[in-house]
Amino acid sequence: MKLFFRLSLIAIIFNSLALLPSQELHAQADARYSQYYQAPLRLNPAMTGVFEGLWRVGANFRTQWGSVMGGSDAYYTYAVGAELKTSVFKSDYIGVGFSALTDVAGAGQYNVTDINLGITYMKKLTGGGRSYRPTLTSYLVAGAQIGIGQRSVKWLNLNYSTQYVVDNNQYNSAITSGENTGGMRMAKIYPDLSAGLLWYGVISERKSVYAGIGLFHLNRPEISLFDRSNVSAGVERLYMRVTAHAGGEFLVGGRSSAISLLPGFVGMFQGPFMELNMGLGLKYQAPRYDDFAFKLSVWTRLANKLESEMDADALILAVGIDYQTFQFSVSYDINTSTLSNVSGGQGSLEFSVIYTHAGKRARPDGCPAFN
């Protein structure tokens, strides 16, 4: 196809690490987050229900590349989630969750929307009993998700090279593009299956470790926007995404210290694309005021660009406040890749809020602190 994409659509390809359908097809990558642990079901299906309380709800908003494309053509990501857990047998839990996301980008309004339902089983491995000495309470969590997704493009919003007038270097939408869009779908709906494992151990309220792996798009759904009844085209399938993550919380000083460190790592691998995130958070929580905590985090993201070598992509700065049953977080990505020549270093802005209902029946087994 001889499309002349506007800068906004080029940026879609750059950010999503994707290509629009062609005879030689490359399946698209998933939407990106910087506050991964504020969208836990997007990080690992086994994160469903891993929190202290009975149920929680959360919402996320992210905007990106407004400095490159202008506000109306920037990327916008909206997500919500809800989780519930209940105790089973002597010391295990079952968690269920719901998540929904919509991601819109560029003048073509390229849109990804999905809805997922998840379930986990949390098996207690060690710990329990009465002891005045610190002991490790550990759990192994297995989770699965089933969902439905949709991808769509507003083809009529795209501009073509044949619609530009060379004499005055102006775009004229009244000029026929000459493109046959009859072979294109406006949208494609597909099923989606994911699964994950998580292990975590809690030594005390301020000492914990965790490690997990998430496998998304196990069924590798077809996502092509070509209508094969009208055009001959290959099959485009979504690459399976593998997410590996680990981290913990470590108290600095004695038991009465208010400072703890939260190191973390998140690696994502999807087809030929790879992204590595490494960071360190600092948490302040006065021992006598356990209903308030302040967190400051610095992360760096490395990514490859369309099968090229790894490169520094962004420096992520995040601030969070935990107050009673609420968690508020805001982060900003400083663009450090070669695109910074155009973006001026301006990357993305992200907000999140989580409400957790503790309930009177919650057992004090503890959960790890996620950064």
DSSP 266-299: EEEEETTEEEEEEEEEEEE--TT-TTEEEEEEEE
- Give one word for 154, left, alpha or beta, with left for phi > 0 and alpha for psi -120 to 50: beta
Please give the full DSSP string across 307-324, using - where no structure is assigned: T--EEEEEEEEEEEEEET
- Angstrom distance (rounded) from CA 243 to CA 270: 9
Q: Residue 8: which H helix or E strand, with range?
A: helix 7-16
Distance, CA of 252 to CA of 250 (rounded, Å):
6
pLDDT bin (cut points 50, 70, 90) of residue 3 is: very low
Calculate the CA dihedral of residues 92, 47, 350, 17 and round it to 10 degrees.
180
Instruction: Write out pLDDT tens, residues 52-61.
Output: 999 999 999 9
Residue 365 lies in a domain: no
CB 178 within 8 A of CB 160: yes
pLDDT at 253: 83
Residues β-bridged to residue 129: none
Q: Over range 205-230, report the average pLDDT.
A: 87
| pLDDT tens figures, 309-348 | 788 889 999 999 999 999 999 999 998 876 666 666 677 8
Range of the domain at 119: 7-357
pLDDT at 24 over 50: no
Q: Per the domain annotation, does 1 fall within a domain?
A: no
Residue 366 lies in a domain: no
Over 80: is that where the pLDDT of 88 sits?
A: yes
From the list 145, 150, 148, the residue with the least C-alpha distance to 104 is: 150
- Which range, 23-37, 81-95, 107-121, 293-307, has the best average confidence (pLDDT)? 81-95
Residue 160 has pLDDT above 90, yes or no: no
**How much is the pLDDT for 5?**
36
In angstroms, the CA 154 to CA 8 distance is 13
Angle at 301 between CA 139 and CA 261, to 5 degrees: 50
Cβ neighbours around 162 below 10 Å, total:
14
Instruction: Flag whether pLDDT at 244 surpasses 60.
Output: yes
On whether residue 226 sits in a domain, the answer given is yes
- Look up residue 67 and give its two tokens: 């400095």
Q: If residue 41 lies in a helix (H) or strand (E), which one and from where to where?
A: helix 40-43
Look up the pTM and report it.
Answer: 0.84
Residues 241 and 267: beta-carbon distance below 8 Å: no
Specify if 369 maps to a domain.
no
Q: Cβ distance 301 to 277 under 8 Å?
A: yes
- The CATH number assigned to the domain holding 248 equals 2.40.160.40
204 falls within a domain: yes
pLDDT beyond 70 at 49: yes
Q: How many distinct structural domains can be found in the chain?
A: 1
User: Considering the domain boundaries, does residue 30 fall inside one?
Assistant: yes
Q: Is residue 363 included in any domain, yes or no?
A: no
Rounded to 5°, the CA angle 59-63-66 comes to: 165
Give the mean model confidence (pLDDT) for residues 26-31.
64
Tokens encoding 86: 């209940």
